[in-house]
C-alpha cells in the first residue's frame, strides 16, 4: 500500500492509502508550481508529521549570522479546517473508505477524495482539488466538495497562517493584517534580513447545490495569523462546495520593484477579485491549456514500451517546469526545486550539468535566463576568488541571491566515530563548479546558436573563469602545474590532488578562453577591446597558454583506467557488495566515517565518468570502457546525480541491459515506492538525468565539438522512442526504433547538418 501506478497511462500518479507517518513523500512528489512559486501538496487539514511549504523563487533570507541564506517558507495559504457537527475532519480518527490522492501531471491538478465516517458516525464524501496556475503565476485555487448522508452543521475555518518556519527558523516579521469587504483576507510579512515584503491575499466562495451561499464570516486575528470562520447547515444529500482563491506577490518581483508595499497590496487584492470572478473551472482549464502550450506540445516525448517508462519521462518534464524560474534571470534552480527546504533553495553544478541540457534543447529562452543568472552573479564569484587569494571568477559551490556569494553551510550531520559535526568542505575546495559554469555557457551558445548571448555575456564568463584557473595552478617539483587539495564530483574523496575531472575541465576552460581570444581579436575587435580593458586579456592569455602547456592531466594506467585522483587507485579495495545492493543510499556512512572512506576505493557518485560524458571525444573508446567498468563496480550511487550518468555511458558502451536497469533506478528516485525518499523535497537534478538517459543515452543525442550527433540505442524493452530537440533555432523531430531512425526538420528555415548513425546528413 502506498504509491499507486494504475493510472499512469492517463498521466496520473496516485496514493492509495493514507499514512500520517509518511506525509512528506506525496507533499513533495505531488507538489505544484510554476517556477515563480512552489507549493508542497500538504493536505487542507493539519497533521502532526506534515511539512507545509510555499516558496517564492529568489526570495532568500538569512536567519542570523550563524546561518547561511535560504529560501524562506512563506505563510500557509492552503489550510482549511473543517468541523462536522463539532468534530474535526481528520483522517487520524474515524473510518476511512475509498481514499485516493492523485496528481495529474498533464494538467498540474491535485485531487484527493475520501469517504469518511466521523467517530460519532457522521458520513461525508469529500473531494479536494487544487492548482497552482501556470497561466497566472501568482494564483493558487482550491475547491472542496462535500456531501453528507445526514443533516449536519459544518464549520469552516480558513485563512492565512504566518507561523510557518524553515524547520524552526522564522524568516519573517509579522505585518499588516486586513479583512476587506468582510471577504478578502490579506496578510503582509517581511523577511527579517533581506527586507523582502510578501503580500498574501485569500478569499472564499461557498456554494450549496450550485448556488452561492451568502454566509457571514467570523474574523479571527492572532499573532502571525488571520482567519475567517463560516457556518453552514447542510441537509442530507446536499452538496456543499468551498472554493478558496489565494495569491502571493513580493517586493522582489521584477515587475513590481518600483511599487511600495501598499501598491502591491492593492494589486494582490484586485488579482484575488479577478480570480474569483473567473472561477475555479476557468482557472484550472486555462492552466491546463498552458501546460500543453509550454511543455507537452512544445517538447513532446513518447516511449513505446512499459507505461512506467513513458510516465517517468513526463514526470521529469513536469517537475522541471515547476522548478525553473523562466520568468526572471536573477534566479536559478534549487537542488530541491521549489518543493521543500532541502539544500536551502541553493543552486549547484546540478543546473549546468544535469538540468541545463533539457532547457537548451526544448526551451532555449529559459536556458538563456539560467545562464544570464551566472553572469549576473559574477560579483559573488569575484569576491570568493579574492577572498581565497585568486584572480578572476571563482564560482560559489552553492549560490542563492546574485550578490550573496558562497552560501554553503560550514557544518552538517555528525561523525559516527567522534560525535562531532562534520565540516562541509564543498564550499571551500569543491572548485570544479567554476569550469562547470563555463561549460554550461559554451554548451548553451553552441546548441542554441545564440551569438548575442556570447557577445554580451558568454565570452566574458568563459574568460573570467579561465583567469581563475590560471591563478589556481600550483607548480610542483616535476615542473608541472597541479591542482591540489580539492573535492571532485565524488564527494567521498576530500583533500585530494589532481582530481581528473577538475584538472581536465580547468584545462578545457583555459583552452576555450584561448580559442575565443583569437576569435574576438580577429573578428570582433570592439568586444575584444572592451574585455581587454575589463579583464586584462593580453596578460591573461599568457597565463592560459602557460597553464595549458604545463597542467598535469592524469593519464590512464597500464589497464587503461584513468586515475580519478593521485591516490584513488592505490587505496584499499574492500567488498562493497552489501552497499551496492543497499535499499537506501548512504549505507557505508553508517559503518565508516568520511576519513576512513577516503582511504577506500569507493565512490559516492560518478566522477571520471562525468568527464567522459562531457568531453567524450577527448578519450579513446578503450580508456572509456576500461574506466567505466572499473568505477561502476566501486560506485554506490549515494547521490541522485549518479545513476543517470552511468546509464548514459552504459548506452554508449553497448551495455543495453545495464543502461536500462540504471535508467529505471534513476527514474524511481522520487517516483518509486520508498516513502521516505523525498521528505525534504524532490531531487531536481535527477529529473534532468532521467531526460538525459532517454534523449542522450537511448536517443543518442550528443553535441561534440559544436556538431550534432544522433545515434540511438534503444533498450530491448522499447519499440519506439520519439522526441524533439531544438538545434540552432530549428526544431528537429526524431523517431527511433531498434532498426531505424528518422529525423525531420520541422522548422525548415535553415539547413541543419547532423551526424545520424555515423553518416553526415543535411536536413
Report angle CA 419, 421, 424 to the nearest 5 degrees. 140
User: What is the spatial distance between Cα 322 and Cα 53, in angstroms, rounded to a whole number?
Assistant: 14
Q: Domains along the chain?
A: 3-296 (2.70.98.40), 300-351+637-763 (2.60.420.10), 377-636 (1.50.10.10)
Mean pLDDT of 394-398: 95
- Cell readout for 327 is 520568468
Q: What is the pLDDT of residues 623-682, one digit of tens each?
A: 999 999 999 999 998 888 889 999 999 999 999 999 999 999 999 999 998 888 899 999
State how far the Cα of 763 lies from the Cα of 748, in Å rounded to an integer. Answer: 8
Query: What is the length of the chain?
Result: 763
Among residues of the chain, what percentage have pLDDT more than 70? 98
Average of per-residue pLDDT across 482-508: 95
CA distances 738 to 362, 698, 733, Å, are 24, 10, 17
Q: Are 383 and 405 in contact (CB under 8 A)?
A: yes
Q: What angle do helix axes 500-523 and 433-448 make, rounded to 10 degrees?
A: 50
Tell me, rounded to whole angstroms, the distance of Cα 483 from its chain centroid.
Answer: 30
CA atoms within 13 A on the CB side of 410: 4
Give the span between the Cα atoms of 41 and 28, in whole angstroms: 7
Burial (Cβ within 10 Å: 0-12, 13-18, ≥19) of residue 546: middle
pLDDT of residue 66: 84
Q: Which residue has the higher pLDDT, 699 or 423?
A: 699
> Among candidates 86, 77, 135, 82, which has minimal Cα distance to 107?
135
Q: Kindly list the strands in the beta sheet with 225-234, ordered across the sheet, starting from the edge strand earlier in the chain.
A: 87-88, 80-84, 152-161, 225-234, 218-222
Rounded distance between C-alpha atoms, residue 420 and residue 424, angstroms: 12
Confidence of residue 456 (pLDDT cuts 50, 70, 90): very high
Contacts 24+ apart (CB under 8 A), 163-166: 163/223, 163/224, 163/225, 164/52, 164/53, 164/54, 164/73, 164/74, 164/75, 164/76, 165/73, 166/63, 166/70, 166/72, 166/73, 166/341, 166/344
- As given in the structure block, the three cell numbers for residue 742 are 528518422
**CA angle (653, 654, 660) in 5-degree steps:** 105
Q: Dig out the grid coordinates for 758 from the structure.
A: 555515423
Q: What is the pLDDT at residue 586?
A: 76
DSSP state letter for 673 = S
Question: Taking 90 as the threshold, does the pLDDT of residue 387 lie above it?
Answer: yes
Neighbours of 549 (CB within 10 A): 10
Mean pLDDT of the chain: 95
pLDDT, residue 408, reads 83
For residue range 20-56, what is the model confidence (pLDDT) as tens digits? 999 999 999 999 999 999 999 999 999 999 999 999 9
Task: Give the per-residue pLDDT at 641.
Answer: 86
What percent of the chain is modeled with pLDDT above 90?
A: 89
Decide if 719 is catalytic.
Answer: no
Residue 597's pLDDT band (boundaries 50, 70, 90)?
confident
Residue 411's pLDDT is: 54
Q: What is the CA radius of gyration of the chain?
A: 27
Tens of pLDDT along 303-339?
Answer: 999 999 999 999 999 999 999 999 999 999 999 999 9
pLDDT band at residue 413 using 50, 70 and 90 as cut-offs = low
pLDDT beyond 90 at 426? no
pTM flag (> 0.75): yes
What are 501's three cell numbers? 575531472
Burial class (CB in 10 A: 0-12, 13-18, 19+), 236: exposed
Q: What is the pLDDT of residue 156?
A: 98
Instruction: Name the catalytic one among 294, 352, 460, 491.
Output: 491
Confidence of residue 418 (pLDDT cuts 50, 70, 90): low
**Confidence grade of residue 409 (pLDDT, cut at 50, 70, 90):** confident
Indicate whether 453 pLDDT > 90.
yes
How do residues 249-307 score in pLDDT, each as one tens digit?
A: 999 999 999 999 999 999 999 999 999 999 999 999 999 999 999 999 999 999 999 99
Strand-strand pairing, 95-104 and 12-15: antiparallel
pLDDT in tens, 502-512: 999 999 999 99
Phi, psi of 181 (to 5 degrees): 55, 30
Cα 683 to the chain's mean position, in Å?
A: 6
Separation CA 573–CA 557 (nearest Å): 17
Coil, strand or helix at 300: coil
Amino acid at each position: 500500500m502506498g504509491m499507486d501506478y494504475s493510472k499512469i497511462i492517463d498521466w496520473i500518479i496516485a496514493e492509495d492509502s493514507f499514512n500520517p507517518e509518511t506525509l512528506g513523500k506525496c507533499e513533495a512528489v505531488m507538489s505544484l508550481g510554476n517556477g515563480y512559486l512552489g507549493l508542497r501538496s500538504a493536505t487542507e487539514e493539519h497533521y502532526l508529521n506534515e511539512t507545509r511549504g510555499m516558496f517564492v523563487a529568489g526570495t532568500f533570507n538569512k536567519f542570523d549570522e550563524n546561518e547561511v541564506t535560504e529560501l524562506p517558507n512563506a505563510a500557509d495559504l492552503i489550510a482549511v479546517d473543517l468541523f462536522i457537527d463539532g468534530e474535526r475532519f481528520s483522517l487520524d480518527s474515524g473510518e476511512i473508505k475509498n481514499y485516493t490522492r492523485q496528481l495529474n501531471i498533464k494538467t498540474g491538478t491535485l485531487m484527493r477524495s475520501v469517504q469518511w465516517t466521523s467517530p460519532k458516525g457522521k458520513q461525508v464524501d469529500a473531494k479536494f482539488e487544487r492548482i497552482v496556475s501556470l497561466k497566472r503565476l501568482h494564483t493558487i485555487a482550491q475547491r472542496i466538495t462535500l456531501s453528507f448522508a445526514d443533516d449536519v452543521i459544518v464549520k469552516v475555518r480558513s485563512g492565512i497562517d504566518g507561523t510557518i518556519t524553515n524547520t524552526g527558523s522564522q524568516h519573517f516579521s509579522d505585518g499588516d493584517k486586513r479583512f476587506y469587504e468582510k471577504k478578502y483576507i490579506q496578510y503582509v510579512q517581511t523577511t527579517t534580513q533581506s527586507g523582502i515584503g510578501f503580500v498574501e491575499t485569500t478569499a472564499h466562495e461557498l456554494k450549496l447545490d450550485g448556488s452561492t451561499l451568502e454566509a457571514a464570516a467570523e474574523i479571527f486575528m492572532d499573532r502571525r495569523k488571520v482567519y475567517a470562520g463560516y457556518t453552514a447547515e447542510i441537509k442530507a444529500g446536499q452538496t456543499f462546495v468551498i472554493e478558496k482563491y489565494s495569491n502571493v506577490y513580493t517586493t522582489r518581483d521584477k515587475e513590481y520593484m518600483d511599487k511600495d508595499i501598499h501598491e502591491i497590496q492593492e494589486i494582490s487584492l484586485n488579482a484575488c477579485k479577478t480570480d474569483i470572478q473567473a472561477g475555479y473551472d476557468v482557472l484550472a482549464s486555462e492552466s491546463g491549456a498552458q501546460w500543453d502550450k509550454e511543455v507537452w506540445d512544445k517538447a513532446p516525448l513518447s516511449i513505446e514500451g512499459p507505461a512506467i517508462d513513458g510516465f517517468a519521462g513526463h514526470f521529469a518534464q513536469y517537475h522541471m517546469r515547476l522548478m525553473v524560474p523562466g520568468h526572471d534571470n536573477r534566479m536559478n534552480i534549487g537542488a530541491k526545486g521549489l518543493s521543500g527546504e532541502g539544500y536551502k533553495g541553493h543552486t549547484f553544478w546540478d543546473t549546468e550539468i544535469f538540468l541545463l541540457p533539457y532547457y537548451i534543447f526544448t526551451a532555449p529562452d529559459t536556458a538563456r535566463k539560467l545562464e544570464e543568472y551566472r553572469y549576473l552573479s559574477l560579483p559573488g564569484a569575484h569576491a570568493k576568488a579574492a577572498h581565497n587569494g585568486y584572480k578572476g571568477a571563482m564560482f560559489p559551490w552553492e549560490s542563492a541571491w546574485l550578490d550573496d556569494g558562497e552560501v554553503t553551510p560550514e557544518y552538517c550531520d555528525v561523525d559516527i566515530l567522534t560525535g562531532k559535526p562534520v565540516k562541509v568542505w564543498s564550499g571551500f575546495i569543491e572548485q570544479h563548479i567554476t569550469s562547470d559554469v563555463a561549460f554550461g555557457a559554451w554548451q548553451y551558445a553552441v546548441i542554441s546558436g545564440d551569438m548575442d548571448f556570447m557577445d554580451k555575456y558568454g565570452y566574458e564568463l568563459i574568460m573570467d573563469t579561465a583567469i581563475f584557473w590560471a591563478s589556481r595552478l600550483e607548480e610542483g617539483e616535476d615542473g608541472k602545474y597541479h591542482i591540489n587539495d580539492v573535492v571532485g564530483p565524488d564527494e567521498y574523496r576530500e583533500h585530494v590532488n589532481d582530481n581528473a575531472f577538475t584538472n581536465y575541465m580547468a584545462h578545457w576552460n583555459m583552452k576555450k578562453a584561448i580559442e575565443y581570444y583569437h576569435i574576438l581579436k580577429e573578428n570582433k575587435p570592439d568586444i575584444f577591446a572592451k574585455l581587454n580593458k575589463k579583464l586584462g586579456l593580453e596578460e591573461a592569455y599568457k597565463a592560459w597558454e602557460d597553464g595549458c602547456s604545463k597542467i598535469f592531466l592524469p593519464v590512464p594506467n597500464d589497464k587503461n583506467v584513468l586515475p580519478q585522483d593521485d591516490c584513488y587507485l592505490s587505496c584499499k579495495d574492500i567488498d562493497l557488495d552489501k552497499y551496492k545492493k543497499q535499499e537506501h543510499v548512504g549505507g557505508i556512512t553508517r559503518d565508516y566515517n568520511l576519513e576512513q572512506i577516503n582511504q577506500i576505493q569507493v565512490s559516492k557518485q560518478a566522477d571520471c565518468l562525468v568527464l567522459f560524458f562531457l568531453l567524450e571525444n577527448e578519450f579513446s573508446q578503450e580508456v572509456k570502457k576500461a574506466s567505466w567498468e572499473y568505477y561502476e563496480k566501486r560506485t554506490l550511487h549515494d547521490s541522485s546525480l549518479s545513476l543517470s550518468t552511468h546509464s548514459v555511458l552504459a548506452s554508449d558502451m553497448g551495455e543495453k541491459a545495464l543502461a536500462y536497469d540504471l535508467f529505471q533506478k534513476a527514474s524511481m528516485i522520487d517516483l518509486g515506492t520508498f516513502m521516505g525518499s523525498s521528505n525534504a523535497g524532490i531531487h531536481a537534478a535527477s529529473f534532468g538525468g532521467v531526460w538525459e538517459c532517454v534523449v542522450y543515452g537511448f536517443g543518442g543525442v550528443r553535441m561534440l565539438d559544436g556538431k550534432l550527433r544522433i545515434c540511438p540505442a534503444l533498450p530491448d524493452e522499447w519499440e519506439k522512442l520519439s522526441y524533439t530537440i531544438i538545434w540552432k533555432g530549428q526544431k528537429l523531430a526524431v523517431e527511433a526504433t531498434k532498426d531505424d531512425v528518422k529525423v525531420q526538420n520541422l522548422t525548415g528555415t535553415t539547413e541543419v547538418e547532423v551526424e545520424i548513425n555515423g553518416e553526415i546528413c543535411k536536413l
